[in-house]
Structure 1
Amino acid sequence: MLPKAIIFDLDDTILSLKGTANETWQLMCEEYSKVNDNVDSKTLYKTITDIRLQYWNDRKSNDKGRKNQREARREIIGNVFGKLKLPKEDIIPIVDTFSEKRLKALRFFPKAQETLEILMKNGIKLALITNGEAEIQRYKIERFGLEKYFDIILIETEVGYGKPDIRIYKTVMDYMNVMPNDTWSIGDNLIWDVQAPQELGIYSIWNDFEEVGLPEDTIIVPDRIITRINDIIE
């Protein structure tokens, strides 16, 4: 049984973000190692991956960085180049090129668009809540024609607050005139998309798109685990 309303996350729930980022960085590292003999692509990619994860897994830097991703990437790559003793003047060109390539590489997860269409045709109220910069998130929404699927779209920097602030879930439910027990939340972030809405009594589904399973040290228990959003209708 589907609910009256579903709240969706955007990145790594509807659109493949992490996968395209990894692919793009690998390509960038291969290209850079061809013009700089002081580093090989595998070492550069591993160092970028390690420092990226460290940056985005830190709550303070995550909160700052997602509101200005270009500056966050410059800081990350600056740390990478400092560690590997690579030329500082290459940092900005690499980051800016990555930003362009990564946006172009974005794509729907398999059957994501079809799932939204089926839910909409069946009268399910749909909401989209996404953290990050409005300019970038709006670009994604417009590029993939997502507005037509959703009754309401809330972006962190437009609203003034974002996930895991429970106010954003309350705003959505008030707008759609639904109660928590009539609502599902679906997303890839255990804190933002599962723990926070569960505080309000929303049935919360974790999208384990990497199929890695729950972290051993987590205390968060999703109401359901899926690996693609089309799992909810199949």
Structure 2
Amino acid sequence: MADLSNFDVVVFDLDDTLYSELDYVLSGYHFLSELIERLYSKVTYKTFIEALKTKVPDVFSYVIEEHRLPKTLKEHLILAYRYHTPNIKLHEGVILILEQLRSKNIPMYLITDGRGITQRLKISSLEIETFFESIYISEEVGVGKPQPDSFIAIQRLHPDKSIVYVADNPTKDFIAPNQLGWDSIGIININTRVHPLTSDYTQAANIWLDQFKGLTC
């Protein structure tokens, strides 16, 4: 267990921290398969899932080839995937923690890598934008993790305050906050995470929890 009320400021990652990124991938494939069926009368969802399970490196090209679709369709499928309104939900315990932090007037921020519209569509679908003082998306701020720019921006707003970053990726998420002297909490979610854990992941964050619901406030 880790009590977030011990900190003056709480900063969250988005993907695979507040919700399952695998759910986003499945939502995108479902959207694309419906689009393809409507426009080309081809049933492709099982092929998308097959490509996902077998870790096909280029899913879109694979589906196009398997179903003899126009090769020029790929770039349109990529854009449709990025800009679809996702069917995703928060991990268990997330909304309770956000509400408790807000009730205790503890400022919250979001730092996430990705494209601006894509990430904001996720945030909008999860209905969490109003919880955060500011949202830092790598494409919008011009730099992503592990670069420290977004972390420094938050620290400048809260000098001499205790700050914790809650995230999932040991490769890049915790480098900047650790260098700045923040506390860090990693979320494992071993069964649904998209990015595999490194062998030395436990060294990346101060604390690791199996699931988000291990947090308290």
| Both structures adopt the same fold (TM-score exceeding 0.5) | yes
Structure 2 counterpart of 1:172: 154
Q: Write the letter of the residue equivalent to 1:225.
A: W
Give 1:40-189 correspondences, 5 Å limit.
Answer: 41=46, 45-49=49-53, 50-51=55-56, 76-78=59-61, 80-81=62-63, 86-87=68-69, 88=71, 91=74, 95=78, 98-99=81-82, 103-179=85-161, 182-189=162-169
Tell me, in whole angstroms, the C-alpha distance in 1 between the residues paired with 2:66 and 2:50. Answer: 11
Give 1:188-207 correspondences, 5 Å limit.
Answer: 188-207=168-187
Structure 2 counterpart of 1:59: none
- Which runs of 5 or more structure 1 residues have no equivalent in the other structure? 55-74
How far did 1:165 drift?
0.5
How far did 1:98 drift?
4.6
Q: Write the letter of the residue equivalent to 1:123.
A: N
- Identity among equivalent pairs (%): 20
Question: Which of 3, 13, 16 is the equivalent residue of 2:7?
Answer: 3
Tell me, in whole angstroms, the C-alpha distance in 2 between the residues paired with 1:190 and 1:216. Answer: 7
How far did 1:151 drift?
1.9
Tell me, in whole angstroms, the C-alpha distance in 2 between the residues paired with 1:212 and 1:123. Answer: 32
* 125-134 or 24-33, larger mean C-alpha shift: 24-33
Structure 2 counterpart of 1:217: 199
**Is 1:232 the counterpart of 2:210 in the alignment?**
no
How far did 1:233 drift?
0.6
Q: Is the Cα–Cα contact under 8 Å of residues 22 and 192 in structure 2 kept in the other structure?
A: no
Give 1:18-57 correspondences, 5 Å limit.
Answer: 18-22=22-26, 25=29, 41=46, 45-49=49-53, 50-51=55-56
Matched residues, number:
206
Tell me, in whole angstroms, the C-alpha distance in 2 between the residues paired with 1:186 and 1:40. Answer: 34
Q: Is the Cα–Cα contact under 8 Å of residues 211 and 227 in structure 1 kept in the other structure?
A: no
- Which runs of 5 or more structure 2 residues have no equivalent in the other structure? none
TM-score (norm 1): 0.69
TM-score (norm 2): 0.74
Q: Is the Cα–Cα contact under 8 Å of residues 193 and 206 in structure 1 kept in the other structure?
A: no
> Per-residue displacement from partner, 1:20-67 (whole Å, max 9, x unpaired)?
42365378679979x669x9936x53434513xx5xxxxxxxxxxxxx
